[in-house]
């Protein structure tokens, strides 16, 4: 499973990137809004230069024409790495289809059903992002949707990858891996929790203590 980091914060991306585990980045308008005071272009270019992998940038237009116009502008900034995030809706599907014709990769976001994901893949989305946590929030099984979408996409051999998104805790990350999500996009605070285990912490402390005692008595 590839791991993307779900943030627009460069310091957080740097921290995860140093771990050698980051394959890409996903942003959205809410995450961009946390980086106040900087231009969107500067934020995105800094991320792309650091990560050198797919970086999803979301459009906010309401019509396919508006979305594709924004998409072309973003894509021109770095055609190797910029991916255009398009919300699932009628105009979004039209935009994905038009951008697919132009070889501009899209990540169809705000996916909450298999049917939505299937349509996005058929329109030519390179990535499809089911929101696990937001489905869990309303009493649905978000990870089941990821599992079903992976089955569907793999069965029909779409050239599309499923990104498990809205990942809220380490159990989500583990479940995404076990159901075969192609990618999970994970916030830094969850990645940091994934590193930890109380027995690992205790083991390191015990080894340090034993080594110190050994050094006292060794010749």
Q: State yes or no: residue 26 binds ligand G3P (CB under 6 A).
A: yes
Q: What distances in angstroms separate CA 116 from CA 48, 97, 129, 193, one per listed residue? A: 29, 14, 10, 31
Answer for the pair 107, 82: CB distance below 8 angstroms, yes or no: no
x/- track of binding to ligand G3P for residues 88-127 (CB under 6 A): ----------------------------------------
Q: What distances in angstroms separate CA 105 from CA 84, 133, 197, 200, one per listed residue? A: 6, 25, 38, 41
Which of 12, 68, 160, 166 is the binder for ligand G3P (CB under 6 A)? Answer: 166
Of 168 and 193, CB closest to ligand G3P: 168
Helix (H, G, I), strand (E, B) or coil at 106: strand
The conformation of residue 178, written as its DSSP 8-state character, comes to H
What gap in Å lies between CA 5 and CA 10, rounded to an integer? 11
- Does 85 qualify as catalytic in the annotation? yes
Of 64 and 183, CB closest to ligand G3P: 183
Number of residues that bind ligand G3P (CB under 6 A): 10
Site for ligand G3P in 169-188 (CB under 6 A): 185
Q: Could you tell me the smallest distance in angstroms from the CB atom of residue 190 to ligand G3P?
A: 10
Which of 74, 127, 131, 158 is the binder for ligand G3P (CB under 6 A)? Answer: 131
What gap in Å lies between CA 200 and CA 103, rounded to an integer? 46
Q: Could you tell me the smallest distance in angstroms from the CB atom of residue 65 to ligand G3P?
A: 25
Neighbours of 27 (CB within 10 A): 25
Helix, strand counts (H, E) of the chain: 11, 8
Residue numbers of the site for ligand G3P (CB under 6 A)?
6, 26, 28, 131, 133-134, 165-166, 168, 185
């Amino acid at each position: 499973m590839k791991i993307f980091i779900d943030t627009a914060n460069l310091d957080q991306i740097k921290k995860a990137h140093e771990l050698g585990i980051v394959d890409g980045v996903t942003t959205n308008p809410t995450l961009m809004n946390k980086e106040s005071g900087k231009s969107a272009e500067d934020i995105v270019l800094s991320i792309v230069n650091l990560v050198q992998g797919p970086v999803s940038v979301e459009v906010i237009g309401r019509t396919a024409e508006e979305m594709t116009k924004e998409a072309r502008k973003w894509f021109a900034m770095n055609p190797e790495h910029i991916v255009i995030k398009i919300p699932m809706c009628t105009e979004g599907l039209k935009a994905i289809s038009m951008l697919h014709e132009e070889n501009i990769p899209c990540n169809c976001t705000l996916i909450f059903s298999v049917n939505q994901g299937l349509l996005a893949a058929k329109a030519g989305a390179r990535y499809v992002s089911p929101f696990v946590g937001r489905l869990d929030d309303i009493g649905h099984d978000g990870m089941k949707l990821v599992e079903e979408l992976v089955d569907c996409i793999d069965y029909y051999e779409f050239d599309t990858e499923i990104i498990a998104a809205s990942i809220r805790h380490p159990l989500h990350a583990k479940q995404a891996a076990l159901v075969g999500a192609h990618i999970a996009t994970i916030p830094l605070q969850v990645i940091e929790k994934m590193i930890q285990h109380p027995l690992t912490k205790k083991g390191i402390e015990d080894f340090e203590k034993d080594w110190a005692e050994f050094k006292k008595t060794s010749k």
